[in-house]
Every structure is written in structure tokens, then in C-alpha cells.
Amino acid sequence: MALFTIQNEFRYEIVRKIYEGGMGIVYEAEQHGAREFVKRVAIKVIRQNYANQKRFIENFIGEAKLVADLIHTNIAQTYHLGETNGVYFIAMELIRGVNLEQFSGQLSDKKRVLPKELAVFIVSRVARGLAYAHAKRDRDGKPLGLVHRDVSFKNIMIAMEGDVKLTDFGIAKARGFLADNEGEVVAGKADYMSPEQADFQITDQRSDLFSAGVVLAHLLLGKNIFKGATTEESRQRMIGLPIPDFRSLDPRIDDRLNEILHRALARERDQRYGTGNELLYDLEHYIYHSGYGPTNETLGKYIRELY
């Protein structure tokens, strides 16, 4: 087989800052190619105060390499890992939309209650993305053992067209990609992490499914029942707060949806959903078993009207 190499340097021009997090900044940029080719992308860079720390750089590169092969409609796509003047950056899919934290804030500002079918639909798309990521294998066919570890409102986006995207695998763990000291430190957002994650234990894919359950409960209730006044209080609530009968908190939640929530939020891992596909099946059966249910187009119409 003949092999050839195309030598080419992408050129990016920053348009505006989209988001600034604890360790990284995301910009909207234009990627320029041959013959006036232009594509809008998102550019993620490490914050300056972390840019010289070897561990952060290695994990940043590991994240890019890991996500490069995660090609799924419910996961934000990564295009390119680059470096300029000693600064590494990741070029990613630009999602014209909002994360669930922004979405929830807009609902609150407009005194709107998210229809329960749309709440279930959003989390069913998250479950689809997780099922795919959890099952991912390396080039030798060995399971990566990928766990996102940060499934939360900030890391789930809804595009204006209604697509739901899981983003930011920056603290994910996967064999051979990212340095990890799990069991020694807690990674993730305290009010969305699983009990085992909050308790410094080793996690598996069931941890992400617990977090998806927290997201679903938050969307339905309009509040996160695990969120405390401090990070430590949130962590303790994750470990010990009794899981309520959700029917008493919202009359829209029927017996079956209450059962789904309780299985997703089971403290004992063996009683929880074992795979993303199991959670996906129950969520989709719930919204589609009687006929027509929500779609990307339904969600897109809702979010465009909201904004």
C-alpha cells in the first residue's frame, strides 16, 4: 500500500471567549484552510497558571487523544491537537447552544417548568453518549475502561437545533490516556458525583450513571437535592442523604419514573443500572412506549422559543 503525508498547518483566528473554567478557557475561532476555506470551531486552552505544570499538560494531551476517537452524535467532537509558542490547544466542534446550567437559569428567569418528557429525553441522549464511551475499545480491541467522572449541568450542552452533547472529558479516566490518582483525591463536581466517587473509592461506569440520575432529578425538580452550602456538605449529602420518594416532590413524577430515578440513584452499585444501554432503554421506553415522543426537533423548538 502506498503511503503519503500531507504537510499542512491549520491557521486559527480567535473570535471571542465562550467560557472560562477553573483550569481552561474555551474560545470561538475560525479555522482557515486552502482557497479561503473557513470553519467555525471551539478552541480549548489551558489557563496560563497551569500551562507550565507537566501533569496538566500531559492530561490535556491525553484528553485530546482520548476524545479524538469518540465519534458519536451525543459527544462533542474533537478535531485537532495543536501547539503554538509552547501552548497546547484542542480544536473542537463548536456547539451553538447552552449548557444545562445556563438552560436551567433561563427556565427560572422566565418562570418556566421543563416538561418532564423533555427532561427524560435530554438524559436519554446523555445515556446514549455514555453507553458509547463506556464501550469504547483501543486499537487492539481492549476495553478502555473509560469513566467520564464529571457528568454535570456544566458539561451537558443543548444545541439550538436540539442536539444534546456530552462535553469535557478533562478528568475522565481511561487506560493509557490520562494520569490518575483516584482513591487519593476527589475529582468532579461534588453535587453530581456518585457516592463512591465522593468517598474516595475507585469508580466504574456505574458512577457516571448515578451522575446522570442526579441530572435527571435536577431537571425534573428544578433544583439539585444533593447540593449543600459547601463542597464538603455536598459530598456528605451524596454519601448519606436518603433518596426521597420523588412522587412526593413533584406530582408529575409517576410510579415508573420514580422507579427509574431510584435505580439510577441506588447507593449500592450492584442495585444501580449496570450500563448506559440499560438506562437508555428504560428512559426511551418511558417516553415512547405509548406512541410519539420528544425528538431533537421538539427540544430544538422548545429551546429556541425559550431564548
Phi, psi at 173, each rounded to 5°: -115, 140
CA 67/CA 121 separation, integer angstroms: 24
Per-position DSSP letters for 157-223, written without gaps between them: EEETTS-EEE---TT-B-TTTS---BTTB--S-TTTS-HHHHTT----HHHHHHHHHHHHHHHHHSS
**150 catalytic, yes or no?**
yes
CA 149/CA 198 separation, integer angstroms: 11
CA 41/CA 155 separation, integer angstroms: 17
CA 100/CA 107 separation, integer angstroms: 10
> Which member of 69, 138, 140, 150 is catalytic?
150
Helices (H), the chain: 54-68, 100-109, 116-134, 195-198, 205-221, 231-240, 255-264, 276-288, 296-306
**Partners of 92 in beta bridges:** 42, 78
CA 255/CA 267 separation, integer angstroms: 20
CA 272/CA 15 separation, integer angstroms: 44
Q: Which residues are catalytic?
A: 150
